[in-house]
Amino acid sequence: MEKEPSFERDPIFERKVAKDIQEVLNEIKTELGCEKPIILYGSYSRGTDTSESDLDLSVPWDSENPAKWIQYVEKLVAKMKERGYKFDHKIEDPNVPYDIEFKSPDLMLADRISGRMYNNQEKVYIFTSTGVTIFDFASEEKKWQQQYPKFYDELVQKRKQK
């Protein structure tokens, strides 16, 4: 008899932060008439957040409409702050009053492989109006290693140089 596959539900789906991001995404979509994926990473995605934790989000940059991206991110930050989340101000540009990454999951993975950042991040969560996608760094890294060996090796070399 063949064993049935077992699927564990990811703990993120039970967390308030996931519900809040999904609600905010849908509110902004209604208000602005557009949608951009919201990527959750950091302590909230790992389940290690405390009352002092800041919320780490990324909204991939929209080079075709930067004004709309800025408007989207401003609404996102304001609505998440209304729900009690904090944002760490690490960006030194006075014109950027919040700390939001603008990278896609692939750019985040490249940074991780090269040792630049996201080293303690196993996966990120990509929120859209249709649901949540889990981007697992380990499995995606294996794909890159097989599909783009030269590029992958260059990134690994950067990590070794640090």
pLDDT per residue as tens digits for the range 117-158: 888 889 999 999 998 999 999 999 999 999 999 998 998 888
pLDDT the model gives residue 62 = 86
CA distance 110 to 105: 9
Residues of the chain below pLDDT 50? 5-6
Query: Is 123 in a helix, a strand, or coil?
Result: strand
> CB of 58 within 8 A of CB of 103?
yes
pLDDT the model gives residue 5 = 47
